Amino acid sequence: MKSIKKDIINIPTSLLAKNVETVFASNIEAEKYIDKKNRYAKKAVRKNLRKLYPNCAYCEDSLNNLYPEIEHYRPKSIYYWFAYSWDNFLYSCSKCNRIKSNKFFIQGTQAEYNNETLQELQISCKKTDEQEKPLVLNPEQFEQTDLDKHFYFKFDGKIYPNTLQMKTTIKVCGLNRIDLINLRIKILNELKHTLSNLYLTFKNDKNIYIKARNTVLDSFEQDIDNNSDFTAWRKFIITNIKAKIN
């Protein structure tokens, strides 16, 4: 999971447009989410989320070739008053979004609607988190160093939890589903394949082999940036392979 820095000062103005105000008021009056097609939220935020999220908020699969979905961190079916809140929107792949669906678990006290205006609810995740102590991790609410403490990987391609929050997140979003394990293993196998080809080519000259191998590993490491998919997994691979050979 990768930390995402959302601009919480410049909230998209479209989220405070008249039509959103109207549908927000209807939800409040009905005390449930009634904008079934979620069309106002979609229109207002998709462009902004696309810039922030090259990869899924939960599984880190690339969103380039998938149809990304607007994910309500706190499900709109329960938290109808957060349906148009800027900091409640994440961007995820359709699989994580569907598996998570309206699941949300907390350790604290359940939040309730408290007569806030649409504007006041735009940035309210931190405050609500303090009360609810959610068990689903939100990549926008953590620095990378804090997120990293919640999980680790093994070479079997699975993600493992260090905390109850991560254990819950893995379960709620299906982060060890077979397609994700296969994608992680594919990245690992491609690197391994490159390294074994190098070995076969240069096995008679150890020095040249080591130089070429280090170049491949350095380049793998340098290619990990904010846009890379599966960054946490890629970092695990490179750290462990480098540790093994040194």
Sites of contact with Zn ion (CB under 5 A): 56, 58-59, 93, 96
Smaller CB separation from Zn ion, 75 or 198:
75
Q: Minimal distance in Å, beta carbon 176 to Zn ion?
A: 12
CB of 49 to Zn ion, least distance (A): 14
Toward Zn ion, which CB reaches closer, 96 or 111?
Answer: 96
Name beta bridge partners: 207. none
Query: What's the min distance (Å) between Cβ of 60 and Zn ion?
Result: 7
Nearest distance, CB of residue 58 and Zn ion, angstroms: 5
Q: Are 246 and 16 in contact (CB under 8 A)?
A: no
CB of 156 to Zn ion, least distance (A): 19
Residue (of 207, 179, 147) closest to 66 by Cα position:
179
Our CB check for Zn ion shows the closer of 54 and 241 to be 54
Which is closer to Zn ion, CB of 17 or CB of 185? 185
Q: Is 196 exposed, middle or buried (0-12, 13-18, 19+ CB in 10 A)?
A: exposed
- The residue among 97 and 128 lying less far from Zn ion, judged by its C-beta, is 97
* Residue 42: CB minimum distance to Zn ion, A: 18
Compute the distance between CA of residue 102 and CA of residue 130 in angstroms, rounded to an integer.
Answer: 21
- The dihedral through the CA atoms of 80, 164, 53, 156 has a sign that is negative
CB of 66 to Zn ion, least distance (A): 8
DSSP structure class, residue 115: S
Asked if residues 76 and 83 have their Cβ atoms less than 8 Å apart, the reply is: yes
Torsion region of 31: left, alpha or beta (phi above 0 gives left; psi -120 to 50 gives alpha): left
Q: What is the dihedral of CA 6, 7, 8, 13, to 10 degrees?
A: -120
Among candidates 187, 193, 192, which has minimal Cα distance to 223? 187
Smaller CB separation from Zn ion, 35 or 140 = 140
Shorter beta-carbon distance to Zn ion: residue 93 or 125: 93
**How far is Cα 93 from Cα 70, in angstroms, rounded to an integer?**
9
CA dihedral 125, 126, 131, 137 (to 10 degrees): 80
Stated length of the chain: 246
